[in-house]
Structure 1
């Protein structure tokens, strides 16, 4: 686990040097406090910061092949490196370390650019082939590890974190207006865009090849949705076997490790399977909230404790209170980009807590996408029954009533009202636009009002991706859209950035690509059956987990920020999002922002996501666009909060 960085000089004006590489590396030192390395050869320059997990003494990077004509730096872990190593040795390759990363150079020798298709792991890597004068930068199949790049006529620059690119003399951070429009819509910036002008994110399952002054991007993997003909019982066995294999393969480590435990299905199954394959008690870490007010709705500690007792883990808990203001500048600096998902706060806090004991952690991220765990995936199931209601009744009675319903996700009954309102008001739309409405944090009309100068023609990545799915069933189409947008650019991005902010490696066994391929070939009616989310997953785990864990109501991993900004964090919101402050930034319409605040405070609409998104955007802007240090911004926020 580490951070990688480097570049390729198309001309002598590129000015790549050891000093430039070291400057890029220092910014990402938190990703790799144990070691660093640089390598320059002709037009190529690569570097890394290393967090030692496997082969602690011998895994220094860059790593070379036998004649040192191929060099690689790799961020992440290759889980099938032992099997690959044995096969490569049988073919005559000679290894100089026991590091998992070394298999990449020998695979490239053996298979060329196709080497990536042999890897099972999470990674971002850069490989330099001296003989062909070819540089390859690549990202893993699911986008677990991020990779940013910048390219002009003189140079290509890349890094695990965007801020490292700005340590060179080639570019300074500026806001990309297109990306900002997408951010306001989705609450994150989808690849290939980044929030920064002229800086892009390499898409998932892709590599960029730089050769003879040319660059091209190649997608090396996509899941096959050809349905397998198996009985329900066979699917249960296949899912459990692959889950067990995925978890066991990702427990390989030369350092202490543990697991995040929320008490939900995904983290609980990971812990249960870890316990089955561990000779010692599994170390587990859970996060909870004050049980007053909205904290009660988000608090999952009793469920986590139940799972901990079931598997006799070494369990620790941390309680979070709404005094997180001082954290936001630091966390958004680590995030690189603003985000509306409050899970980045909880992920950081539980990671910081776990890092006191362990260097590597396993997480249940990905299970909802893979097996149909989100409420928005139920839309097609309930749509069939809704369409049985006469059209006049839907139009003249249900829609007006829904429009008047109050919304607040931090209250049990108002949250039901919010969900019903969202469903009814979009039920007449086609699948792509209906799904877009579920994942938007504001409507298209509100986005146009919110952005200064309105909205010019903006990309429509979600709609465009739906158009490419052809005849795929609705649930598989929704997963494919999520696989290429929200999963890598929201959930996995915040998981990577927040765990690495504490120098903690996080592995996500539910996104092992072999498990993903199995789930993609499963009939969608087995993922959601009779309105039951994650049906086949739950049924495959009946001998591992108790029914009250498998079938309890779902609760996300975020913080109750929507409730906190109505009370404890209200002074902060009024300060950061005042009409004067918003107008001075020149990006959003201050009066429209005030309307969003008023509607949220009165429960007319639940505007948690967009308000948190705007708060985080302003804090991010102070640091990345205005050049203020995180500590300086922290002091400003603390004064506002008094």
Structure 2
């Protein structure tokens, strides 16, 4: 994993690229390089050495004839297969690195070679003979990439803060509304005005910095076996063996839940090799509800691991808060970001790669909102007819949220299920265009989560939190082979409640995990707020100060909650944490 940077046009000089490199040194502390291919263009890279750790694979990586060069970050999981193809075509290799494979694929096939790359990546390929620049990001959005462009200059970087070091942009207050409802800016945007996110599965080949057009990375047609439980198990096992490979120490984030437990169990069953594993452990008084630590400890008795529990209390939260906040490139309203950061802080002492179960819930229907939408589909007419009466019944908060979220439009209903509050109409329009109407209705919702929640929340906090400690994160459930299988599953019942994952666990004598109630991964915020102590006091104070300085830009519901946060403790504790995080980040960056 690395950090990559480009500045092209006015202001492109060595001092500017050095500023960008300095901002993202944590992404690649093992090697650093910069180069100007021609006047007015500078590129730079921070390298984290994972595959072929020798200096022969340092970047920028040049073609043998000196006509092209590559800087990139990520991992290519099919690089051996492509390497063999290129050798058959007469290409000679001087390293065992996937970097050299990527360079030759692009040199031989041009931008069409992007479709051959199976893995996670963001890259910049420079062809000096035709003075062109190719920029691309992987299909899942596992590796972040940002850009800023005006008539004079194009800047591209792995981190917003690297671009911000040159631009000094203001806060984009238009992103406050999507953050309030869905925890992150609108897809393709950031909290910095004029700095945008390069969308997944997009590339652009540019001959000038003044303009570029988007193109999609096409998928190569592959022979995929008929979807079945056996195919699922075989495909996932292959993905595990493939992605657990590295030339540096590797471990796993073990939640004690279904997804990460299955990955490690398959690994151990195939290899018998114990790996380091890391799990968050909350205070004893909260463990009945937040049982990840206890569950993971039980799991490693069946599948041995060098297991480490990382205790998180209010004391450790405040001791680490400032450092965590400084490490944030962009705030995401999810306390799992802090927990991932704490895991990275401890894990960096022994590993440079961490595996996670990211992607399983989004693809295979593991969230409560997927279950709710299934109920909505089956009872839609009845629910709409009696919605008014049902809403008056004195039942619990989750029931009331479900009833109030129902709309005649299934996509609006799913957005309401997904959001921290029911969506206003203007925001619904912004997100509605993301749904792929070529899919059946239920799959549209899973695909929306794949495009939005997975990219904007799960993968972003994983990358930011782990890279802050120079650790690469990997997600085998997002392997290209797994996505190919997912796309051809016709029976939607197989996409509800992760049946194949649970069946795999039962075969491994892990039924107790498959039956474990899903809690989600986050801080015990409800309990911390309920104590009405220092935590609540500090959070309320920061939110109220934020409302006074920026409240005029808040949507109505956000401003009402920010003005009197103590009234939201019972039902809006997640939103309160998100507002606190944003308030602290905005204050830190003086926006």
Is this a same-fold pair by TM over 0.5?
Answer: yes
Q: Which residue of 1 aligns with 2:521?
A: 557
1:135 Cα deviation after fit? 0.8
1:166 Cα deviation after fit? 2.0
Deviations 1:4-39 (A, max 9, x none): 111222xxxx12122221221111111111110112
1:95 Cα deviation after fit? 2.2
User: 1:548 pairs with 509, 512, 515, which one?
Assistant: 512
1:223 Cα deviation after fit? 10
Classify 1:255/1:581 alpha carbon distance in 2 versus 1 (closer, same or farther; 3 Å). closer
Q: Which residue of 1 aligns with 2:403?
A: 424
Distance 2:401 2:428 in 1: 24
Distance 1:581 1:528 in 2: 42
Distance 1:525 1:227 in 2: 21
1:611 Cα deviation after fit? 1.2
> 2:530 is paired with a residue of what secondary structure?
coil
1:326 Cα deviation after fit? 4.1
Q: Which residue of 2 aligns with 1:630?
A: none
> 1:460 is paired with a residue of what secondary structure?
helix
Deviations 1:96-153 (A, max 9, x none): 3222111111101221111111111111111111122111111111000000100011
**Residue 377 (structure 1) aligned with residue 370 (structure 2):** yes
**Residue 220 (structure 1) aligned with residue 188 (structure 2):** no
Distance 1:379 1:610 in 2: 21
TM-score of the pair, normalised by structure 1: 0.86
Contact kept, 8 Å, 1:44 with 1:135, in 2: the verdict is no
Which 4+ stretches in 1 moved above 4 angstroms? 226-230, 387-392
Distance 2:441 2:427 in 1: 25
User: 1:575 pairs with 541, 547, 551, which one?
Assistant: 541
Contact kept, 8 Å, 2:225 with 2:231, in 1: the verdict is no
Distance 2:223 2:434 in 1: 21
* Aligned-CA RMSD value: 2.4
Aligned residues: 582
Classify 1:517/1:335 alpha carbon distance in 2 versus 1 (closer, same or farther; 3 Å). farther
Deviations 1:515-572 (A, max 9, x none): 012112112433256xxx1113322443224111112111211111233233341111
Deviations 1:434-483 (A, max 9, x none): 011012223345xx9xxxxxxxx6683421122x423x222210122112
Contact kept, 8 Å, 2:374 with 2:442, in 1: the verdict is no
**Residue 137 (structure 1) aligned with residue 135 (structure 2):** yes
Q: Which residue of 1 aligns with 2:499?
A: 535
Distance 1:339 1:286 in 2: 21
Contact kept, 8 Å, 2:60 with 2:71, in 1: the verdict is yes
Distance 1:259 1:500 in 2: 15
1:378-527 correspondence runs (5 A): 378-383=371-376, 386-387=379-380, 389=382, 394-401=386-393, 405=395, 417-444=396-423, 460-466=429-435, 468-470=436-438, 472-527=439-494
Classify 1:243/1:228 alpha carbon distance in 2 versus 1 (closer, same or farther; 3 Å). closer
1:258 Cα deviation after fit? 1.1
1:428 Cα deviation after fit? 4.0
Contact kept, 8 Å, 2:61 with 2:100, in 1: the verdict is yes
Structure 1: state its 5+ residue gaps.
406-416, 449-456, 627-642
Classify 1:279/1:584 alpha carbon distance in 2 versus 1 (closer, same or farther; 3 Å). same
Structure 2: state its 5+ residue gaps.
none
Classify 1:574/1:96 alpha carbon distance in 2 versus 1 (closer, same or farther; 3 Å). same
**Residue 182 (structure 1) aligned with residue 169 (structure 2):** no
Classify 1:341/1:429 alpha carbon distance in 2 versus 1 (closer, same or farther; 3 Å). farther
Q: Which residue of 1 aligns with 2:560?
A: 592
> 2:165 is paired with a residue of what secondary structure?
coil
Contact kept, 8 Å, 2:143 with 2:463, in 1: the verdict is yes
1:201-216 correspondence runs (5 A): 201-212=197-208, 213-216=210-213
Distance 1:118 1:272 in 2: 30
Classify 1:596/1:298 alpha carbon distance in 2 versus 1 (closer, same or farther; 3 Å). farther
Contact kept, 8 Å, 1:5 with 1:25, in 2: the verdict is yes
Distance 2:344 2:365 in 1: 26
